[in-house]
């Protein structure tokens, strides 16, 4: 067995190096996160020497963790001044806890679900936050408020201490307590009756709760009597939840007015009045968070839809702000539809209308006519895409000279802006939710929430440039088209996991026609450090193949959580392939699929994960090494000359040399 160990080692190295390459001629290659212990690149199996980035310098930490506003203040302002800031922590456990709670509760209503998620999350976040009290105090700071809906703190601290605060490993982001500003008879028909036969008002929002985060609501207005079921003010200077500005009452009327002339979109929906802005139409992030904490824990009615007709331009619209992440977490973890005005800034989307999971709404002018060919985008309506290149706004709705309830009066008044567009969509979402709960109760609230957004985008009336455009988004909300889709369209929901990251559906097209397909999913709240600098949105692609596996159409955005295909299909059998290209460390990803033509689920396809590859290569390597040992041993034994001295037939092994006696 001369040189055996050397030969075996060489053989093992060759197997380990070459086996992954041979395997991946048959297996789809998955992109891996930048900092992973093992990853694949150009068919080569590579091991990183580290699995975390190098420690950032203090300067880099400031750039990563401090908002641009604070970076500017540190250069120009008196460093001894105190600032109020939001401190977002790295650990964000809500998504994980929400899934655990949903699976553990055998029977539950939405109030119980939301409260349980909140309380279980609080058990995790409170110790993390308490551990920072002494450190923040040593920097001259004071914790003003602890938050659970997103693991964050409101802190009062000297400006000069912010760089030291940013160096703490528990901190993900530090931002100012941003100011939020409101975004200022045909519109209801334009939304509900554009496409014949129009929406069936058997579904009118019954048992659906819409929370209006605004300047308050005048619940005594004749068109809103009986609609407000709970209310609270989070404006310290205005403890009464009554509306003294008029904006919130106008928004509430668009959603749920019962007036026969100026009817709301969902006239039987219930409203929760969450007052977070004062008589000047101004609020801040802390008031929004305080309102959310109350909504999820201290009300007898759980919200199904949230309408926020407000935003800020103080933060970049890249989906990375605390506000945007908050919205995404509320939608994904608490299964609430979040509708946000896109803004009236023209050149950009206002935060948090840039959030991935929200429905961002632009403003079009219907001109008092029901003819879509005359509808134009409002000159002040915010345009997309977002700073990170995503498709926002999502949809458009009437928002110019909209007549709705007037605060402190029995009359109605006209107002304009995306503030008026968003509640049209919030009301539309309430109608869809009622329909899904009535006709598809087994799907559950998490799928209902995702499908509601998907249905609104899938059925939107395409205006402006064909397909998505930066003004109308995917088009004008069209509840007539929604009704038609719910009667004759098809939708599926599913979950991809790393080991089964591909799903195949079939379409049997019987005659030439356009096939329109929409795929969407939510960004889920992350629990690791990558949430700071990396987009943790799972990347899913969609392609349509004919019977010969030729790709006829595809959608492969790397930044959006929606993919769409519109293809003029000939008669024949087609395969629709949904593939998770990169899970971004998510252990599963739910999705909704909508089509104007029937789709049939076929199968999930097994995909190789890095762990499975390592195990397989290791097993192959071990088997090969064992076989090599046996073969080399047999060869060496055969090549030895015959023994000349007598030896026992029972033993072919050499004897140990005799030790001398002492």
Active site residues: 214, 247, 419
Alpha helices in 399-530 (DSSP H): 418-439, 445-458, 479-488
Q: Which residue has the tokens 């091991």?
A: 47
Asked if residue 87 lies in contact with residue 532, where contact means CB atoms within 8 angstroms, the answer is no
CB-based burial of residue 83 (10 Å sphere; 0-12 exposed, 13-18 middle, 19+ buried)?
Answer: buried
Rounded to whole angstroms, the Cα distance separating 421 from 187 reads 9
Determine the Cα–Cα distance for residues 255 and 433; give it in Å rounded to an integer: 14
Q: How far apart are CA 152 and CA 239, in angstroms?
A: 25
b/e map of 230-258 (b: 16 or more CB within 10 Å)?
bbbbbbeebeebbbbbbbbbbbbbbbbbb
Please, what is the Cα angle at 566 between 560 and 567, to 5 degrees? 140
Element (H, E) at 11: helix 4-23
Question: CA-to-CA distance for 571 and 551, rounded, in angstroms?
Answer: 15
CA distances from 88 to 76, 249, 308 (A): 24, 33, 21
Distance CA 467, CA 462 (A): 7
> Contact 543/554 with Cβ under 8 angstroms?
yes
Exposure string of 286-300, with b = 16+ CB inside 10 Å and e = fewer, is bbbbbbbbebbbebe
Which residues are paired to 210 by β-bridges? 271, 305
Sign of CA dihedral 529, 531, 535, 538: positive
Please state the φ and ψ torsions of residue 402, each to the nearest 5 degrees.
-90, 130
Task: Report the C-alpha gap between 142 and 555 in whole angstroms.
Answer: 49
641: Cβ contacts below 8 Å, ≥ 6 apart: none
Beta-bridge partners for 304: none
Quickly list DSSP for 118-155. Answer: HHHHHHHHHHHHHTTHHHHHHTT-EEEEEETTTTEEEE
| Secondary structure of 256-318 as H, E, C letters | HCECCCCECCCCCCEEEEEECECCCCEEEHHHHHHHHHHHHHCCCCCCCEEEECEEECCCCCC
Distance separating alpha carbons of residues 273 and 575, to the nearest angstrom: 47
d(CA 528, CA 114): 24
From residue 24, alpha-carbon distances to 17, 41, 320, 582, 591 in Å are 12, 11, 35, 16, 27
Using alpha carbons, list the distances in angstroms from residue 364 to 342, 350, 391, 396. 12, 17, 17, 6
């Amino acid at each position: 067995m001369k040189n055996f160990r050397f030969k075996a080692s060489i053989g093992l190295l060759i197997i380990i190096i070459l086996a992954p390459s041979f395997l991946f001629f048959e297996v789809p290659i998955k992109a891996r996160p930048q900092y992973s212990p093992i990853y694949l690149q150009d068919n080569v199996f590579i091991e990183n020497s580290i699995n975390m980035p190098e420690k950032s310098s203090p300067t880099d930490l400031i750039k990563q963790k401090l908002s641009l506003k604070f970076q500017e203040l540190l250069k120009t302002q008196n460093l001894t001044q105190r600032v109020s800031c939001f401190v977002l922590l790295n650990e964000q456990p809500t998504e994980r806890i929400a899934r655990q709670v949903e699976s553990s509760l055998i029977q539950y209503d939405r109030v119980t679900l939301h409260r349980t998620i909140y309380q279980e999350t609080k058990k995790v976040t409170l110790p993390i936050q308490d551990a920072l009290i002494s450190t923040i105090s040593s920097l001259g700071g004071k914790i003003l408020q602890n938050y659970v809906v997103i693991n964050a703190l409101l802190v009062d601290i000297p400006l000069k201490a912010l760089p030291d605060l940013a160096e703490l490993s528990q901190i993900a982001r530090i931002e100012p307590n941003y100011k939020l500003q409101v975004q200022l008879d045909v519109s209801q028909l334009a939304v509900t009756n554009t496409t014949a036969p129009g929406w069936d008002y058997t579904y009118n929002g019954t048992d659906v709760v819409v929370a209006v985060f605004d300047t308050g609501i005048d619940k005594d207005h004749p068109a809103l009597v009986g609609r407000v079921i709970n209310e609270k003010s989070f404006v310290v200077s205005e403890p009464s939840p009554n509306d003294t500005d008029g904006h919130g009452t106008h928004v509430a009327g668009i959603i749920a007015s019962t007036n026969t002339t100026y009817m709301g979109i969902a006239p039987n929906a219930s409203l929760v009045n969450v007052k977070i802005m004062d008589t000047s139409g101004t609020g801040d992030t802390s008031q929004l968070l305080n309102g959310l904490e109350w909504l999820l824990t201290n009300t007898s009615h759980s919200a199904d839809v949230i309408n926020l007709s407000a935003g800020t331009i103080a933060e970049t619209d890249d989906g990375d702000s605390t506000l945007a992440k908050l919205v995404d977490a509320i939608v994904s973890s608490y299964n609430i539809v979040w509708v946000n005005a896109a803004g009236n800034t023209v050149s950009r989307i206002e935060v948090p209308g840039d959030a991935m999971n929200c429905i961002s709404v632009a403003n079009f002018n219907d001109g008092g006519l029901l003819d879509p060919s005359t509808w134009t985008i409002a000159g002040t309506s915010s345009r997309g895409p977002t700073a990170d290149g995503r498709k926002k706004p999502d949809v458009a709705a009437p928002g110019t000279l909209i007549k709705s309830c007037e605060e402190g009066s029995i009359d109605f008044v006209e107002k304009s802006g995306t503030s008026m567009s968003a509640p049209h969509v919030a009301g539309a979402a309430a109608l869809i939710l009622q329909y899904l709960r009535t006709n598809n109760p087994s799907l559950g609230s998490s799928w209902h929430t995702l499908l509601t957004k998907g249905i609104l985008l899938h059925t939107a009336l395409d205006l402006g440039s064909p397909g998505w455009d930066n003004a109308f988004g995917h088009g004008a909300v069209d509840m007539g088209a929604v009704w038609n889709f719910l009667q004759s369209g098809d939708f599926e929901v599913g979950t991809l996991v790393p080991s089964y990251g591909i799903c195949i559906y079939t379409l049997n097209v019987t005659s030439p026609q356009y096939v329109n397909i929409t795929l969407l999913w939510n960004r889920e709240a992350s629990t690791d450090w990558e949430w700071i600098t990396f987009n943790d949105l799972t990347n899913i692609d969609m392609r349509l193949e004919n019977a010969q596996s030729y790709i006829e159409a595809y959608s492969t955005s790397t930044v959006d959580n929606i993919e769409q295909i519109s293809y003029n299909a000939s008669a024949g059998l087609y395969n629709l392939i949904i593939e998770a290209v990169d899970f971004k460390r998510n252990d599963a990803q739910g999705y909704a699929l909508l089509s104007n033509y029937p789709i049939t689920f076929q199968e999930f396809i097994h995909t190789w994960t890095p762990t499975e590859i390592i195990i397989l290569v290791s097993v192959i390597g071990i088997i090969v090494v064992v076989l090599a040992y046996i073969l080399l041993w047999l060869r060496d034994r055969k090549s030895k000359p015959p023994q000349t001295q007598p030896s026992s037939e029972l033993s072919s092994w050499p004897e140990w040399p005799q030790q001398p006696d002492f």
